Amino acid sequence: MSGTVASLFTNGNAAPLESALLTHLKGQRWFGGKARSIRSVTIPEVVRLPTTDECYAIFVLLTYTKGGPETYVLTLGVATGEQAAQIEKEQPSLLVARLRRNGDDSVFYEALGGKELQQTLLTTIARRRRHKGQSGELVGVTTRAFGQAPSPLPAIDTSLLKRDQSNTSIIYDQQFILKLFRRVAGGVNPDLEIGRFLTEKAVFPHTAAVAGALEYRPESGEPVTVGILHRFVPHACDAWQYTLDELTAYFERAAVHREIDPGAFLQKPLVETSEEEPPTLVKEVISSYLTSVQLLGQRTAELHLALASDATDPLFAPEPFSAHYQRSIYQTMRGIAGQAFPLLRRRLPTLAAPVRALAQCVLELEGEVGKRFQAVLGRKITAMRIRHHGDYHLGQVLYTGKDFVIIDFEGEPARPLSERRIKRSPLRDVAGMLRSFHYAAYTALFAQETQGTAVAQTEIRTSREPWARLWHVWVSALFLKSYRDVASHAPFLPRSSEELQLLLDAYVLEKAVYELSYELNNRPDWVHIPLHGIVQLLGKAP
């Protein structure tokens, strides 16, 4: 590419850059269009950012042969001379495109790693500054949780959060964390909307307070949430890593009880199990994690009580189920299955032999899945619908060493923004956490399987898989019991245990089928986990 930087963004000259952007996007973890056929790439908006070196926030619009379009936000820096050569040599993953201007070789690169840009973004929020683009402006806003910003704003130590996720986050000296959304859409992101509600209205203390945001405000149309600034929460790790560490110790304790059949403790439906006292063996082998998971159940219920606490706010006031809404639940579930099962059939030949056998078993259960989903139409649902987390799992919870802090309220990024803001049963969050417990148990199990010879791996699977199921069932039961104890009188809970079990059965299975599609498209090596989950949820043996 050649020419001035500004000219490369114009309609007549942008084609080379758009092609380079497409190649770059396809290599990013956060790009959600990997499995879709792309029709076009355009750059509808460019905002110059006030940094010493040239830097731009650009909006990249992708249209597909099927389904709706998507918009992604990138920050592109321009480097020349030695700086360009250094990026190409030492950080080639940041390189987006090469260009020639004024006789010099230059590069476009992902600029979020730069300290100056990181400081500029914080200053934009703290000072509520506005940066004009071609058809709108990027605006910084603050909340009461930000506090009084000193003048001038001091330089703060900054760093990118090194974590596999669908967004990009910057930490500011363990005072703030700025989450920048890669995929954006018109309308308030639920993470900002719910976060501000929990910070300023419901005052839920077990989440990271929202301190500010970056918004793109077009000349016409809805504002776009580009980033959210939270107060930083000191923590030891997330609940996912904490749980995996606990599972390592659990399997060591379970190995002492080789003579015991764990299946004897797994005979009842989950709701019924949650109403019973855990056997002595369960308390012994799961140990202190039972206390932790009860606390997590309590915090989850307290979150839902907070989200249902304002009957005067139309965005958060609880609403009843209706026959029409029950029908929409079923249609959504059927649609998820309608995508997952054909995809599994197409990918079947590519799966390893043991996984392929399990996948074949799941394909034979397609009719059973449909019946489980259809059961939600069989009776009136007495519970209320509320705003909820929307993508609740162990990775969305921080563990402080003593307590849990719930974060990331944006919902499932693959779903449209409008869909993520719909009021639903909070049991969808409960179901998400139950599936996360299953993921943790089998992730820990398969990690142990990879050690040793094939014979040793088979022995580990045979001896430890029932213990993985025991851990999953009883951890799920204690989580559910604690949740129900705290939220027992809340209108969003069904009035009967039978109705509760029916909804949980449907929501947990829906989540597992959704995970099946996700893993086939993004992490094929993980697909065995939702396959195991579906088989177990339907009470079948592979």
Q: For residue range 66-79, what is the model confidence (pLDDT) as tens digits?
A: 989 999 999 999 88
Same domain? 80 vs 107:
yes
Residue 238 has pLDDT above 80, yes or no: yes
Last residue of a domain, one of 202, 231, 260: 231
Same domain? 106 vs 42:
yes
**pLDDT, tens only, 22-39:** 999 988 888 888 878 999
**pLDDT, tens only, 85-136:** 888 888 888 888 887 666 667 888 999 988 999 999 999 999 999 999 999 9
pLDDT mean over 268-284? 91
452 falls in which pLDDT band (50, 70, 90)?
Answer: low
Residue with tokens 């498209």: 521
Would 301 be classed as within a structural domain?
Answer: no
Residue 151 has pLDDT above 60, yes or no: no
Same domain? 87 vs 143:
no
> According to the model, what pLDDT value does residue 147 have?
79
192 falls in which pLDDT band (50, 70, 90)?
Answer: very high
> According to the model, what pLDDT value does residue 148 have?
67
Q: What percent of the chain has pLDDT over 90?
A: 67
Last residue of a domain, one of 231, 264, 291: 231
**pLDDT, tens only, 160-182:** 887 757 899 999 988 899 999 99
Would 393 be classed as within a structural domain?
Answer: no
Same domain? 157 vs 184:
yes
Q: What domain count does the chain have?
A: 2
Would 443 be classed as within a structural domain?
Answer: no
Same domain? 92 vs 133:
no
* CB-CB contact of 503 with 321 (8 Å): no
**pLDDT, tens only, 460-474:** 666 788 999 999 999
Report the chain's mean pLDDT, rounded to a whole number: 90
Same domain? 130 vs 172:
yes
Same domain? 134 vs 192:
yes
Residues 6 or more apart whose Cβ sits within 8 Å of residue 435: 393, 508, 511, 512, 515, 533
> According to the model, what pLDDT value does residue 446 have?
87
Residues 6 or more apart whose Cβ sits within 8 Å of residue 419: none
Residue 454 has pLDDT above 80, yes or no: no
End-to-end CA distance of the chain: 56
Residue 47 has pLDDT above 90, yes or no: yes
Distance (Å, whole) CA 457 – CA 449: 5
> According to the model, what pLDDT value does residue 247 have?
96
Q: What is the pTM (predicted TM-score) of this model?
A: 0.90
**pLDDT, tens only, 296-322:** 999 999 999 999 999 999 999 999 988
pLDDT mean over 365-383? 92
> According to the model, what pLDDT value does residue 318 have?
97
Same domain? 216 vs 157:
yes
Same domain? 148 vs 127:
yes
**DSSP state, residue 2:** B
> According to the model, what pLDDT value does residue 455 have?
45
What DSSP line would sit under 429-477, residue for residue? HHHHHHHHHHHHHHHHHHHHHTSS-HHHHHHHHHHHHHHHHHHHHHHHH
> According to the model, what pLDDT value does residue 339 have?
95
Which structure tokens are listed for 51?
A: 């940094």
> According to the model, what pLDDT value does residue 423 have?
96
Would 131 be classed as within a structural domain?
Answer: yes
Residue of 32, 64, 57 lying closest to 165 (CA atoms): 32
Same domain? 23 vs 47:
yes
> According to the model, what pLDDT value does residue 17 have?
84
pLDDT mean over 429-446? 96
Distance (Å, whole) CA 429 – CA 260: 33
pLDDT mean over 506-517? 96
* CB-CB contact of 392 with 429 (8 Å): yes
Would 29 be classed as within a structural domain?
Answer: yes
Same domain? 106 vs 135:
no
> According to the model, what pLDDT value does residue 533 have?
95
Residue with tokens 């509320």: 386
**pLDDT, tens only, 201-211:** 998 999 999 99
Please report the beta strands in 181-329, taking only residues with DSSP state E, as ranges in sequence order. 183-184, 210-218, 224-231, 237-238, 319-320
Last residue of a domain, one of 188, 206, 231: 231
Output 179 or 353, whichever has higher pLDDT: 179
From residue 115, give the alpha-carbon distance in Å to each of 52, 112, 232. Answer: 11, 8, 18
348 falls in which pLDDT band (50, 70, 90)?
Answer: very high
> According to the model, what pLDDT value does residue 195 have?
96
User: Which structural domain range is residue 25 located in?
Assistant: 6-111
> According to the model, what pLDDT value does residue 341 have?
97
Residue 542 has pLDDT above 70, yes or no: no
Same domain? 213 vs 158:
yes
pLDDT mean over 200-221? 95
Instruction: Provide the sign of the torsion angle of the four alpha carbons 376, 382, 206, 181, taken in this order.
Output: positive
Largest CA distance in the chain: 78
Sheet with 404-406, strands from edge to edge, namely 237-238, 397-399, 404-406
> According to the model, what pLDDT value does residue 2 have?
43
Would 34 be classed as within a structural domain?
Answer: yes
> According to the model, what pLDDT value does residue 521 have?
87
Would 341 be classed as within a structural domain?
Answer: no
Would 252 be classed as within a structural domain?
Answer: no
